[in-house]
Structure formats: structure tokens, C-alpha cells
Amino acid sequence: MRALIDSLRSRKEMVAYFDKHEYPATSWIPLNLAESLKDELEREGFKPLGARELRDWMIEVIEDQRAQNTLVVFLQDVAPDTILDRFTPDALVRQYLDHGGCILWLGDIPFWYRGKEGEEKPEPIYGNLVPINLLGVIPVITYTPTDVVEITKEGRKLGLTIKWTSHRPVIYMKDKSHDFIPLAKSKPLIAHCVPLTIEGRPVKEVIREPSLLGRILRYFRGRFQLGVAEVEVRSEAERGKKRPTVFITGEKLPCAWIKKFGDGMFIRLWDMPIRSELVNYYTRIIATEILRITRRKSLK
């Protein structure tokens, strides 16, 4: 964890994605909050980039082999199609991570939606398994948090201090935990896994056993223990219109976390909807936490 924090805080090139004019789509982060955060971070040295600028910047830092010295904060929780150009790990945004880049994400599930030019409403793309394909974690949907989050030892080391109410924790494979660091955990009363579909079709229709992928998906469709929850995952066809269910066994689920990609990292924080009436409050606490995590000076 010490080496990871040192790597994070040694990054000198900080940018913030914000594009309310050409790519206005957002989900849980109101545009007025995103703009207010952009103004605060810009004063502290972060460079605001729009969707096209972000694409060009990611290509440039990959080609120049300087991605390991960079970090981008997504102030809108909908990635634009300029960087989320594919639904597989060869998407530009994942290539940026694989080459050592760092992303800090807040709000709704990462890559659950995609933004398109001129459209305020985001495009739902979760049916293509994009969050799973790009990040290797299984999102969980819950509307029944039983308490505010518990910040882990690693989260405190990183600089997290503000607690929140989690709405979108994740499941991760216990034997892969060396690549996954929980920063905060929550305990939902009831939760649902994402529907397992590919391009809108149930996985059972797409995958033909006994292929390797078929055997993997058959494993996921059964009941199994992940170390954090007992899960039953089935395709939409098997459950009709019902969502697959996660049965919580008593352990808390990660709701803020770091997923490592070699020297790159994806930092996920604050998985909650934010009310637009509380913009001033959340601008201050979120900007302060971002600056603390990246070891910039805190807001006065």
C-alpha cells in the first residue's frame, strides 16, 4: 500500500474531465457540482479537459510513455464515447490504465453508461458487461444500505475521512485480492448483481458449452462463495424479468476501492447520488478529499 500511495502522489500531470457543452451527460453527479469541483481543482493545478481533449491527451501520454506520471479525475460519472470507444479491454480508457495511467472516479457505477456528443441522456451499456470487462469487478445494485460506510485501514492511509451512504458496492474474487484494495465497505440489506447479458442477449444464448468461456459462465450461474458474499447469478432468460440476487452472508462489500493494472490504477470513491441542493457542501468535502488523496494542499 505504501508503494501504491507513493506512486499516486508522485504523479505530476493532473487533469479533470468536464464537458458540459458538447458531452453534457451525467448520472449521479449534478452538472453544477461537476462544474464547481472543476473550478476548485483548476485553482489547485488540475487541467480541465473536454471529451475530445481527453481522448487526444490519453493517446499522447501513452505514445510518449508518460502515463505513469498522470492522473485524471472524472467529474461527470458518464465516460464519453471518445475514450469508451469499445466495450472490451482494448477501449482507449482501459489502454490508458494498462500503460500506467490513474483514474479517480466518483458517483454511479463506472462505465455503466456512455456519453454521446450533444446528448444529455447517457446511453445505457451495462448489458454489454462493460464494467466487468474493463475493470474485472462485478457491480452490485442496492437501495437498502444499513449504515454509513466503514473506511478501511487502507482507506485511512490513502486519506479518506468523510463517510457516506453506499449504493453501488462490488464483488471481487478473493484469490485476486492482490490486485484489488478495498478502501471502504458497506453492508446492504438486499442487493442485486448486474444482469449477465451480452449485447442485450442472455449469456446462455450467446455462449455454447463446452467452450472454456462457457464453463466459466456456467460456474458463475451456479451458487458459489467469493469470500465476501454468497451469490446466485443466472441469465435473464433463466429468471424471466427478475434480476439475479446476491444473498449477503454477513460480510461487508467494498464500495470504495482501488483496482490495479500493473503500474496503473483505478480509484473508485463516493458511490452515492448527490442532491443538487447540497452542491456547496459536497464541493468542499469532495474537493478537499481529492486534494488530500493526491497530496495537494487542502481547501481553506
pLDDT band at 5 (very low <50, low <70, confident <90, very high): confident
**Does residue 238 lie within any of the structural domains?**
no
Q: Kindly report the CATH number assigned to the domain that includes residue 49.
A: 3.40.50
- Tell me which residue has cell 471481487: 172
To the nearest whole number, what is the mean pLDDT of the chain?
83
Residue 52: give the domain boundaries: 2-190+248-293
Per-residue pLDDT tens for 54-95?
999 999 999 999 999 999 999 999 999 999 999 999 999 999
Closest by Cα among 102, 108, 42, 59 to 79 = 108
Closest by Cα among 161, 133, 181, 190 to 270 = 161
**Does residue 63 lie within any of the structural domains?**
yes
Q: What gap in Å lies between CA 17 and CA 52, rounded to an integer?
A: 10
- Report how many domains make up the chain: 1
**Does residue 131 lie within any of the structural domains?**
yes
What is the chain's alpha carbon radius of gyration, rounded to the nearest angstrom? 19
**Does residue 240 lie within any of the structural domains?**
no
- The alpha helices in 164-235, defined as continuous H runs, are 203-206, 212-221
Q: What gap in Å lies between CA 274 and CA 267, rounded to an integer?
A: 19
**Does residue 230 lie within any of the structural domains?**
no
Instruction: State the pLDDT at residue 100.
Output: 97
Instruction: State the pLDDT at residue 222.
Output: 44
**Does residue 203 lie within any of the structural domains?**
no
SS3 helix, strand, coil % of the chain, rounded to 5? 35, 25, 40
Instruction: State the pLDDT at residue 142.
Output: 83
**Does residue 236 lie within any of the structural domains?**
no
Q: Residue 246: beta bridge partners?
A: 191, 231
Instruction: State the pLDDT at residue 3.
Output: 86
Looking at per-residue pLDDT, the higher value among 298 and 35 belongs to: 35
Instruction: State the pLDDT at residue 238.
Output: 45
**Does residue 204 lie within any of the structural domains?**
no
Instruction: State the pLDDT at residue 298.
Output: 45
Average pLDDT over residues 8-37: 96
